[in-house]
Amino acid sequence: MILTVTLNTALDLTYRVPSLRPHTSHRVSEVVERPGGKGVNVARVLAALGHEVTVTGFAGGPTGQVLRERLAGAPGPVDALVPVAGATRRTIAVVDERSGDTTQLNEPGPQIAPAEWGAFLDRYEELLAGASAVALCGSLPPGVPVGAYATLVRTARALGVPVLLDTSGEPLRRGVAARPDVIKPNADELAELTGSHEPSRATQDARRRGARAVVASLGADGLLAVTPEGRWRAAPPARVHGNPTGAGDAAVAGLLSALVENLPWPARLTRAVALATATVHAPTAGDHDPALYAELLQRVAVTGEFSAA
């Protein structure tokens, strides 16, 4: 079983409008509602790849109830969310059909009480006992300690469970120091962590700060990985146009699934880029076309060297 942690789960709402214009009313052409938060999105892709996956984190209030009902009503991830008194947040994505651009509005999330955090830690350790790998994903809701991910990384490592960390800011800085197996920042998050805007230098610096492997997302340019086994770049076959929402989570799912399957790093990166690209091309945010994904697996370009990073 692969475990994904989403401390700040969300009910994702996607609105499609013919053209998004400030200061005007809009007629919405389509509404899509689904369980969300980065780790939930990762779990959905893992399940589509055929992996057994469990989601944990927090859920509460009417929004949290809808989220859990949607999880229960669809095949795929197993719900191991911890109930809280506060209401789960909503995220709203507005897709401009004319330009293809997406505008995102993210609520902060519920206030987590110390007792609720303690209950989660107990649940997390129980779930790790049956996990082959764990992904720690996304922002922290109010009330959760800023060093939460560092605590979760150390717990996983103590139990011998490989851990991938995908967050930003101070939670990432502290989490890296706990020595996760993989981190997957985007270019901005990597620059904030290291102070360098040069991706090659920044990924190496992030490794020196504690991460065993660093896989940096460079947007349309693909992925840059610096690992103990070598350094690689992986890129889609052509410049990608579409909705990037969920592409980073798809890449995490690709990396994690390939990790538990013991695939070499070039194959991990190929899968991650193919999934991310297929997600950008999908009409619904966070989905991917399996046929396009299969085609892209044959076309992703990976270059690099098998030397110690």
Q: What digits encode the pLDDT tens for the residues 209-253?
A: 999 999 999 888 889 999 999 999 999 887 766 666 778 999 999
DSSP element (H, E) containing 80: none
Per-residue confidence at 309, pLDDT binned at 50, 70, 90? Answer: very low
* Residue 122 to residue 102: CA distance in whole angstroms: 38
Residue bearing tokens 């110690």: 308
Per-residue pLDDT band at 263 (split at 50, 70, 90): very high
- Is residue 166 among the annotated active site residues? no
Share above pLDDT 70 across residues of the chain, in percent, rounded to a whole number:
94
Q: Map residue 249 onto helix, strand or coil.
A: helix
Q: How many Å is the Cα radius of gyration of the chain? A: 18
205, 249, 287, 289: the catalytic one is 249
Separation CA 90–CA 35 (nearest Å): 10
Mean pLDDT, residues 280-298: 74
Give residue 32's pLDDT band: very low, low, confident or very high (50, 70, 90): confident
Q: Which residue type sits at 214? A: V
Record the pTM.
0.91
- The confidence band for 51, taking pLDDT boundaries of 50, 70 and 90, is very high
HSE at residue 72, side-chain half, CA atoms within 13 A, is 8
> Quick one: pLDDT at residue 308?
42
Is-contact 174 161, C-beta < 8 A? Answer: no
Given this model, what pLDDT does residue 280 score?
79
* Mean pLDDT, rounded, of the chain: 91
pLDDT by residue (tens digit) across 146-196? 999 999 999 999 999 999 999 999 999 999 999 999 999 999 999 999 999
Higher pLDDT, 106 or 220: 106
Split at pLDDT 50, 70, 90, the class of 285 is low
161 membership: H or E segment, kind and range: none
Close Cβ partners of 290 (under 8 Å, ≥ 6 residues apart): 48, 278
Residue 160 is predicted with a pLDDT of 96
Rounded to 5°, angle at Cα 186 from 107 and 8: 30
* CA angle 78–79–83, rounded 5-degree value: 170
How close are the terminal C-alpha atoms of the chain, in Å? Answer: 30
SS3 of residue 224 by DSSP = strand
Q: What is the pLDDT of residue 305?
A: 64
